[in-house]
């Protein structure tokens, strides 16, 4: 008789492996998509190669991406210098 933990362990390992493969596939798709829609540029903060993508469906703002598909705001060591300080006016209009 096979112990339940062993069956469950194999199942979890297989599920994680499948998930990992799906993530890797999604990364490749994202990278290919970025090459088509992104505008190559260099980050003014850290100098890294980035791709600007305009998010027309939501904010319409340009968002910088790393070539591997991650949002550069999340990976840039100088990200803090790009944050706009909230003004009183902006705060009042937001409410």
Interface positions with Zn ion (CB under 5 A)? 43, 45-46, 48, 76
Which of residues 34 and 43 has its CB atom nearest to Zn ion in the complex?
43
Give me the least distance between CB of 40 and Zn ion, in Å please. Answer: 14
Give me the least distance between CB of 67 and Zn ion, in Å please. Answer: 12
Give me the least distance between CB of 46 and Zn ion, in Å please. Answer: 3
Which of residues 11 and 61 has its CB atom nearest to Zn ion in the complex?
61
- CB-based contact 43:74 (threshold 8 Å): no
Which of residues 48 and 53 has its CB atom nearest to Zn ion in the complex?
48
């Amino acid at each position: 008789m096979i112990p339940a933990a062993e069956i469950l362990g194999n199942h979890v390992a297989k599920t994680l492996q499948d998930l990992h493969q799906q993530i890797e596939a999604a990364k490749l798709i994202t990278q290919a998509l970025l090459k088509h829609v992104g505008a190559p540029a260099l980050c003014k903060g850290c100098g890294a190669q980035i791709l600007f993508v305009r998010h027309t469906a939501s904010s319409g703002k340009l968002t910088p991406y790393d070539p591997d598909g991650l949002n550069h705001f999340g990976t840039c060591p100088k990200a803090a210098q790009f944050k706009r300080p909230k003004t009183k006016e902006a705060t009042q209009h937001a409410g």
